[in-house]
Copies of this chain bind each other. A is one copy, B any other.
Amino acid sequence: MIKAAVIGATGYTGAELVRILSRHPEVELVALTSRSCAGTPYYQVYPHLYKYIEKECQALDLKSLVAESDVIFTALPHGHSMEIAAEVVKQGKKMVDLGADFRLNSVQQYESWYKVEHQMPDLLPQAVYGLTELNRNKISSSTLVANPGCYPTTALLGLAPLINNKLIDVSSIIIDSKSGVSGAGRKLSLKTHYSEVNENFQAYGVAAHRHTPEIEQELCKLAGEEVTISFTPHLVPMTRGMLSTIYASLTKEMNQEQINSLYQEYYSGEYFIRVLPPGVLPQTKALAGSNFCDLAVTLDSRTGRVIILSAIDNLVKGASGQAVQNMNVMFGLDEKLGLDMVGIYP
């Protein structure tokens, strides 16, 4: 059994890690830390796990926690995972960081977009960007995985087949993304206050969201050239789910069938990517609680653009599910272990 600890277990991505790991046949949860709830039984914070989790939330004692664990999941706001990573590496354990601290390869980019100093720049070169399908080999031999952001997960999985094959104009990419409210976490804010969000739809972070450099960095690796995108996130009055609508101009003429084939082949071995059959479009509800990414690509022949629809459950494939998927890869397990969950519909 792999001994796993979750640091930041009472946020939503933490709770989703606990839900998944509590049912994982090869994992034993050894510690759930929470600054705000230390000493409280976990089921009092999350009653859906009553009878599944007996543990109390505990305060973080870093050294001993790392010592008793094989793998540490950090589900913390940015800026809080760097010292933890240093201790994990020092003790030779493995870590999946669900935050942003190790996603950007460039310290300058990180500090410019996140407005905090990076305390462990020396660790950046060994951090692997954990979009499992695109980076599986590196992840399998890594000890420090930077789990992708939810928006980048949809954008990169949606664009990879085309951009990797140099079939789109990299200056034409527009990513219009829509997210459920749980992506903003459990921290209180007027932006996530029920009466403000319900029956409301709005954009935020226009031309300024921190996932922009992350998407560009990884697209650049796939394209082999610099990529600058327009990215607009929106808040949807629902709890879970994310859908990105992605626009790009083709650089060579393709018909709808060729596009379908390209996607089917590119992801042919990937269990968690479902290229939907013609006539079926992604919908977030079909993914609730599951680790799939559903894709459909439409040729807009009037304009020469493709319109890519890419949907996930933001808390699963967009966060905790992919983190466990990465753990499975890091430990040489079947990638699907503990993750083969059907979405709840309706």
Contacts and interface: CB of A to CB of B under 8 A. Distances in A.
Interface stretch (A110-118, A126-134, A137-145, A303-311): A303-311
Nearest to A189: B188
Question: What is the copy number of this chain in the assembly?
Answer: 4
Interface string A164-177: 00000001001010
Contacts of A178: 178, 201, 234
Interface stretch (A15-23, A92-100, A257-265): A15-23
Contact of A288 (B188, B199, B245): B199
A254 interface: no
A195 B245 contact: no
Contacts of A50: 274, 276-277, 280, 286, 294
B281 A346 contact: no
Interface string A247-263: 10000000000000000
Given A44-B280, A247-B174, A307-B206, A342 B49 contact: yes
A283 B47 contact: yes
A279 B50 CA distance: 13
Contact of A200 (B49, B51, B285, B303): B285
A90 interface: no
B344 A289 contact: yes
Interface of A: 12, 15, 19, 22-23, 43-44, 46-52, 171, 174, 176, 178, 180-182, 186, 188-190, 192-204, 206-207, 228-230, 232, 234, 236-241, 243, 245, 247, 271, 274, 276-277, 279-290, 292, 294, 298-303, 305, 307, 309, 311, 342-346
30 contacts: A12-B195, A19-B344, A44-B280, A47-B283, A47-B286, A48-B344, A174-B305, A176-B176, A178-B178, A178-B234, A180-B199, A180-B201, A181-B195, A181-B198, A182-B346, A186-B346, A188-B189, A193-B194, A194-B198, A195-B239, A195-B346, A196-B346, A201-B241, A202-B283, A204-B281, A206-B300, A207-B302, A228-B303, A236-B236, A240-B344
